[in-house]
Amino acid sequence: MQHTAFHYKTLDEVRAETEKLGTELPLSENVQALLTPLEIHGHRAMNRIAFQPMEGTDGTEDGAPGEMTRRRYLRFASAGPGIIWFEAVATLPEVRASAHQLQLHEGNVDAFRSLLDEMREVSLRKNGYAPVIIMQATNSGRYAKPTGVPSPRIAYHCPPLEDTPLPDTCLVSDDDLKRYEEAYVPAADLCQRAGFDGMDVKCCHRYLACELLSAYTREGEYGGSYENRTRFLKNCYRAAQSAVRDRDFFLTSRLNVYDGFRYPFGFGVREGAGLAVDLREPLRLIGELREEFGIPLINVTMGNPYKNPHVNRPYDHGNYVPDEHPLEGVSRMMHGLSEIQHAVPDLPVLGSAFSYLRQWSGCLAAGMVEGGHCAVAGFGREAFAYPEFIHDLLRTGQMDAKKVCISCGGCAALLRAGTPAGCIVRDREVYRA
């Protein structure tokens, strides 16, 4: 299905289009709700805007933040989000997604610590408060590419993701999984020493923990039943928890609640034909993470950026033309967030996929938070293009149409190429590089 690229001049035009598509979005021009602070496990986020984790592929070979990493995070901190969800940081060298993905270890923990100190200082100076900073600890699994060459570590064979079937040597054994779980002990320890407020046991976008949630066809203790499919994630939590010393340090997850495809089933995908969303298992998992590990918030996302990128980040332009209007993608995400937030009203839900709406994305964020559909609006691509939108939005209620992300996919293309990522349209430092 072809659609016309983003052309809406007014909020009413956006409303009319969503109505035509048979859906609705909560859009509000009153941004007051975004200014309410949020308590997270003894930390205070001073507004309801988060910057989502965005891998920059600009770390040093040793996994430390590089000069471009520092630049990105100081820009982010200066912009004043209540939360900075720091990008995917590998738990082991062999599970890095690129030769320049960050990897925290004994040898570079001080470099992370200095960056965090600087971020807090910059934000305090500019905004009068420091952001809550959460590190995303990752095992890239199927998408591991530690030296720039694919080195997939897969939970099970998944033909829709394998143009050429991968050899069995790519399958991770139960023993491999146990070793990977153990890596979350030093990860949590180092994360505290680096000064992060919390750690995300990443479980999204089809990286290893996320892939296991749909390992219906895997034999043994990590496949088949719900208990087995969630075992790796929970064991990673247990490992991480054993290293938690600081009372105010917390664990959480960025969790995929919907795969958007099936083989033979998908996590969060209704059984039977079609790809309807079914949040029963994700809700059960969120409840258990809260009960067993005391997560103080959950970052909810959907889709697989390699297989169905429009589900994760609705866009207008790209090589892959999806069979849905981007506003339907935005709507799917918002309805999913709302269903979860209403099912767990006292657990803050942090939402994704606001950037497509450009200058109106702040209205969507405000409408979602005001209506109690999520507690925090998380921005990805917009943070690359126009981080200072927060000042404009919270001060004037408006975002500048000439500065917003145009959902061109350029930042994702840089990431896939393994080169430093950022906004190729709005950020001179990136398009110069």
Among residues 28, 69, 127, 136, the one that binds ligand FMN under rule CB under 6 A = 136
The yes or no reply on residue 55 touching ligand FMN (CB under 6 A) is: yes
Crossing angle of helices 67-79 and 109-127, in 10° steps, is 30
Binding mask 230-269 for ligand FMN (x = CB under 6 A): ------------------------x---------------
Judged by CB, which is closer to ligand FMN: 17, or 58?
58
Asked if 204 interacts with ligand FMN (CB under 6 A), we say yes
Q: What SS3 state is found at 38?
A: strand
CA 108/CA 98 separation, integer angstroms: 18
- 382 interacts with ligand FMN by CB under 6 A: yes
404 binds ligand FMN (CB under 6 A): no
Taking residues 337 to 356 in sequence order and writing x for each that binds ligand FMN by CB under 6 A, - otherwise, the string is: ---------------xxxxx
Q: Which is nearer to ligand FMN, 223 or 380 (CB)?
A: 380
Q: Rounded to whole angstroms, how far apart are CA atoms 39 and 45?
A: 6
With respect to ligand FMN, which residue has the nearer C-beta, 216 or 390?
390
Any residues with CB less than 8 A from the CB of 351 and at least 6 apart, and which? 300, 333, 334, 337, 368, 373, 374, 376, 377, 378
Q: State yes or no: residue 380 binds ligand FMN (CB under 6 A).
A: yes
Closer CB to ligand FMN, residue 136 or residue 235? 136
Query: Judged by CB, which is closer to ligand FMN: 87, or 189?
Result: 87
Tokens matching residue 326: 């981007």
Please choose, out of 52-60, 141-149, 336-344, 386-394, the segment that lies near ligand FMN by the rule CB under 6 A: 52-60
Nearer to ligand FMN, 205 or 426 (CB): 205
The dihedral formed by the CA atoms of 402, 406, 410 and 411, expressed in degrees to the nearest 10: 80
Report how far apart, in Å, the C-alpha atoms of 53 and of each of 50, 84, 89, 378 are. Answer: 9, 8, 10, 9
Interatomic CA distance for residues 230 and 378, integer angstroms: 25
3 state DSSP class of 94: helix
Q: How many CB atoms lie within 10 A of CB 21?
A: 14
Does residue number 54 form part of the binding site for ligand FMN (CB under 6 A)?
A: yes
Name the amino acid, one letter, at 423. C
For the beta carbon of residue 291, count every other beta carbon within 10 angstroms.
9
Q: Which two tokens stand for residue 285?
A: 């998992």
Among 88, 92, 134, 423, binds ligand FMN (CB under 6 A): 88
- Using CB under 6 A, list all residues that contact ligand FMN: 52-55, 87-88, 136, 204-205, 254, 301, 312-313, 352-356, 379-382, 411-412, 415, 421
